[in-house]
Amino acid sequence: MAVALKLVRAKLARWILAALFVTFVTRIVVLMATADLSDMYLTPLLDYGSFMHSAEALTSGLNPYVHHAGIQPPPSAPYGVNLNPPVSLLPFMALNELVAADAGRLALQIVTVLGFMTMLAILARRYPANAGAITLATLVLVSHIGGTVWWGQIYVLLGLCSLAGILALEKGRWVVAGIAFGLLVAMKPPFVLVPLFLLATGHRREGAAILGVAGTLSLVPLAIWGFDIYRQWFDVSTSLGPVHYEGWPRGSMSLISASVVVFDTKLPGFVGSIGLAAGLCGWLFRARFRLSNAEVAGYALLVAMVVSPISWPGYLPIAIPAMMARRLDHGMWAGLVLLWFASGIGILVLVASCVRQAHRLVAEEDPLPEIQPLFAHDIPDATTQRVA
């Protein structure tokens, strides 16, 4: 019976991986066949441009979370302003001159690729049982590493934080785990589910350490620029338009994004996200005596990918350590299913966006009305908003 069950699980795993592979390939084909990017971006720097624009605005005493017509370079798109929390502005300002040079951007891209390869090598060495060729190939595909390098995103560096945190929890090094996951939470607040789930399952020392590091880092911008910087970030975070949730043309993977596309409202997505997070937290609490702290953190990383208000495909390296960890077998199955579901949302988002574009063209409307400024305090008043 045990042998038969093992064979069934192995066959099921192959089918899930195959389905995941086909789903993501389909998504890429749909994107390449339908996306017209010619007029969408203001600068070839893409996300580098958004980070540099934000840093330059703050250096000039302006609101870093809006598009300023007089600040160069412009963000990646009129709606493509920096959405990361204020603590992210510190490294963006420090790296501004490096990113401005072609050689500097190339160096960062090389570091990103090497960082991703290092992550997979460490995981394959640490968990050889979960490092089969099909698994690694699928994880490379779903990691969106090509898009991350091309766009100039920071997700691989955050994935290394996730890797360090998982390994530290396994070895009982709660201080290192606190620093690693604290950095992740400070840069991407939806991953606060990691310390919250740890606290809920009795791992108070680890959860408190993560919250302590994240909270301390988040206080630094407050000490430098005052409370106004957080008000500006809150304004932009709560004023997102449909183009952000639809993720055109890349496709956000969150339940809220799917809700906006399918129902034209965020409410079902919010309710589903809260229900999913609460339900998983309750299950982890009931199973807390047979789950390690690393397993709990792994589940939190996986569910945060789907319940985050916006979850780009580039977030996936953050969850890869959770899926490959030796003691996260159940988490790996759950993660593959979630990624399959999330990639399906991505295809739905792209198809729905294409249908809407076609409808607007037939109706002789502006095909991309969402690209107009989305924020009440945006151009032309942006230049008058300064950081207190």
Of 85-94, 219-228, 232-241, 251-260, which one has max mean pLDDT? 219-228
Phi, psi of 2 (to 5 degrees): -65, -40
Burial class (CB in 10 A: 0-12, 13-18, 19+), 383: middle
Q: What is the pLDDT of residues 228-239, one digit of tens each?
A: 999 999 888 877
Mean pLDDT over 261-285 rounds to 88
User: Is 387 a residue whose pLDDT tops 50?
Assistant: no
Domain edges within the chain: 13-238+246-364
230 and 218 Cβ atoms separated by less than 8 Å: no
What percent of the chain is predicted at pLDDT more than 90?
25
Cis geometry, peptide bond prior to residue 380 (ω within 30 degrees of 0): yes
Q: Which of 40-54, 69-83, 187-201 has the lowest mean pLDDT?
A: 40-54
Mean pLDDT over 95-116 rounds to 79
Residue with tokens 């390098």: 149
Model confidence pTM above 0.85 = no
Q: Which amino acid is at 132?
A: G
Q: Which amino acid is at 139?
A: L
**How many angstroms separate the Cα of 35 from the Cα of each of 26, 242, 257, 350, 373?**
14, 17, 18, 9, 21
Of 49-63, 220-234, 333-347, which one has max mean pLDDT? 220-234
CA distance 76 to 57: 15
Q: Which of 15-24, 254-263, 278-287 has the lowest mean pLDDT?
A: 15-24
**How many angstroms separate the Cα of 148 from the Cα of each of 41, 157, 159, 307?**
16, 11, 12, 21
User: Is 328 a residue whose pLDDT tops 70?
Assistant: no
CA distance 218 to 192: 13
154 and 315 Cβ atoms separated by less than 8 Å: no
Q: Which amino acid is at 57?
A: A
Q: What pLDDT sits at residue 208? A: 97
CA distance 316 to 330: 18
